[in-house]
């Protein structure tokens, strides 16, 4: 089942991606707190190179991106900790996937917020 937390977090292939993912998650939250403001106007939520702006909505829907990154981080690290006892490589892979997706979602959040500034 779940591996010992002390041994799990001592593995550098686990804690380094965790620190990177948490850094980008905090960066998204700080950036959102600075630049995302409540308004009655619609904001651009998605931009496509071919069609231009293709999704418009309320201002708070921009915050779905950091919340989804936090959800992916939580699920992947929970699965990683659960699987780590049976298969260390798969557990480590899940931590890298969580960090990788968090980095790309932070880039998407930066661009989505920058589209509305």
| pLDDT value, residue 2 | 67
Q: What is the mean pLDDT of residues 3-8?
A: 78
pLDDT at 117 over 90: no
pLDDT range class, residue 5, cuts 50, 70, 90: confident
Structure-token match 């992916």, residue found: 72
For the chain, give every domain's residue range: 5-114
Residue 3 binned pLDDT confidence (cut-offs 50, 70, 90): low
Stretch 69-87: mean pLDDT: 93
- pLDDT digit string (tens) for 14-73? 999 999 999 999 999 999 999 998 888 889 998 888 988 889 999 999 999 999 999 999
């Amino acid at each position: 089942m779940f591996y010992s937390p002390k041994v799990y977090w001592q593995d550098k292939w686990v804690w380094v991606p965790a620190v990177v993912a948490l850094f980008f998650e905090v960066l998204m939250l700080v950036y959102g707190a600075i630049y995302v403001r409540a308004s009655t106007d619609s904001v651009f939520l998605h931009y496509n190179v071919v069609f231009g702006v293709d999704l418009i909505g309320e201002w708070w829907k921009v915050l779905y991106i950091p919340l989804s990154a936090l959800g992916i981080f939580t699920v992947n690290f929970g699965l990683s900790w659960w699987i780590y006892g049976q298969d260390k490589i798969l557990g480590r892979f899940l931590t890298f996937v969580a960090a990788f997706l968090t980095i790309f979602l932070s880039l998407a959040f930066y661009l989505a917020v920058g589209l509305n500034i």
